[in-house]
Amino acid sequence: MKRRTTVSRFCLLAFPVALMLAAAAGVYSGLGWGDVDSSGIQHSAAGLSSSFSTFPRRYVDSAKNSSNYFRHSMRTMKRHVEKLQMLLRDEALAPDHEGFFSLKQEAADTGLSERKYVRRGGEQLLSKREADLEHDTIFVSVAAFRDVLCGQTVEELFSRAAFPQRIFVGIVQQIYPGTDEPCHSPILTNCTNRSFCPMDNIRWRRVLPHEATGPPFGRYVAGLMYQDEKYFMMIDSHSRLLPNWDVTVLKHYRMLPTKGVISFYPPAYEGQKVLKTSMLIFMCSAHFTRENILRMDGKAVIVPGKPILQPYTAAGFLFGHADFVREVPFDPYLDYIFNGEEITYTIRLWTAGWDAYLPPDAIIWHYYNRHNVPRIWNQPGVDFYRRSVVGEKRVHIILKTTVSNSTELLVDPSVAESSVLREIEKYGLGKERSLEDYWKFAMVDPIHRKTEVKMEGYCDNVRI
């Protein structure tokens, strides 16, 4: 039935296109273009009228000369050709995997109507004018360390996107081939009969686990696969996504009142069930570790429905215009660092003029309780914590950490090893705002290691 309907629509649209082509040809060759003179125009009109007795008389009567008539015919033909193209494109998209989205078009008699984006089955998602997504591509950074959930995560990036053809993914796959499960899914690779294949939009870097040097390494390598997409998103490889996540995150992002990024610790999921959450973690608090590095905490708040300015960003979810990663590239020299990665990048972003916001609602969930899974710090032969000393020194130099209760620098850059100082200007603080102003904004006293000023912290001063 669907094929019959499509053929019928095709024929109905093809007929006027053929008619317009014949009419245009008549102007040029049917009566002889070289014979047109002051009276030949009238002959041309009369000739066309007699040759195409079924052609609507109003077109002939309204044509003052053959060139006007030709332009009128071409405009009408163009409208019908565009309708045909959309019909054929929609038909080509129809066999896509269930859950993917198609572009449909309603054609009015007077021309093309506004394009509609709809889910299979007819539920309207949003209009083109509302979404303004014609060129809004999103690059997604995924660093996976021997993660069996990576394939599911990447699958959902496409199957739960409203516009999967606009999603591009860079995967750093840190596995032992033949031993670890690759970051694959049948939906990603079985593309024989589909007009869009997710594999066309996936870029890969493969690294042996014993050659990896920690989470910052994976994020840096993933960022190398970015190719000028408009937006940049970073997630963990064990995440689940909201249906239509791409449309939702762009709506959230366009609500930001200043130049900024959206970031938060996603709510948790376990198993295959993802529940709608009524609470989010507002990243408004932190504490100092025994290594004198500020580590972020948070406060559970009711879903705010609007972006909320916050002093911290999280590596598990970070989204913004790709200018943020051009201006503040990921540091490849934070080897074997876990604590220190997020606060360093947060302050580099803030001092470069980028604010951080809690999103209005959740679009992603994170699997936190992963027990007995491979992690880089428990790999045989990797003395992770001993090797982290160099990366920690780099963090202290960038953030100008002092000895507790003193203004003396904890790590003196003038005597630091060369490995600690590699390209530190490129991956250092920004020039738009000062480090001192950041501490005031975040209500942190770094000298006395206090995350409250006058007994109050950032969480206490924000109403949601």
Which residue is associated with the tokens 């493969």? 206
Hey, what amino acid is at 243?
P
Sheet with 167-174, side-by-side order of all strands: 202-207, 167-174, 138-145, 231-236, 317-321, 260-263, 355-358, 308-310
Domain boundaries, given as residue ranges, for the chain: 2-129, 132-366
Do 323 and 372 contact (CB within 8 A), yes or no?
A: no
pLDDT on residue 104: 28
SS3 label, residue 130 = helix
* Amino acid 64: pLDDT: 40
Q: What is the pLDDT of residues 411-432, one digit of tens each?
A: 999 999 998 999 999 999 999 9
Beta carbons within 10 angstroms of residue 123's beta carbon: 7
> 225: left (phi > 0), else alpha (psi -120 to 50), else beta?
alpha
Per-residue pLDDT of the chain (464 residues; tens, 9 = 90+): 544 444 454 455 455 545 454 444 443 333 333 333 333 333 333 333 333 333 343 333 443 444 444 454 555 555 444 444 443 333 333 333 333 333 222 222 222 223 334 333 444 455 555 555 445 899 999 998 888 889 899 999 999 999 999 999 999 988 888 888 888 887 777 777 677 889 899 999 988 888 878 888 889 999 999 999 999 999 998 899 999 999 999 999 999 999 999 999 999 887 666 666 789 999 999 999 999 999 999 999 999 999 999 999 999 999 999 999 999 999 999 988 888 999 999 999 999 999 999 999 999 998 887 777 777 767 776 777 778 888 999 999 999 999 999 999 999 999 999 989 999 999 999 999 999 999 999 999 999 999 876 666 788 877 77
Long-range CB contacts (within 8 A, 24+) of 29-35: none
Q: What is the pLDDT of residue 46?
A: 35
Cβ atoms < 10 Å from Cβ of 284: 26
Tokens of 396: 């202290």
How confident is the model over 423-456, as pLDDT tens digits?
999 999 999 999 999 999 999 999 999 987 666 6
- Name residue 450's amino acid: K
User: How far is residue 462's CA from residue 442's CA, in Å, rounded to a whole number?
Assistant: 12
CA distance 99 to 117: 14
Using CA atoms, how far residue 255 sits from 60, 81, 247, 275, 358, in Å, is 53, 38, 13, 25, 11
- Does residue 328 contact residue 313 with C-beta atoms inside 8 Å? no
Top-level class of domain 132-366? alpha beta
Does residue 47 contact residue 30 with C-beta atoms inside 8 Å?
Answer: yes
Query: What distance in Å separates the CA atoms of residue 321 and residue 327, rounded to the nearest whole number?
Result: 11
**DSSP string of 21-44, one letter each residue:** HHHHHIIIIITTGGG--TTHHHHH
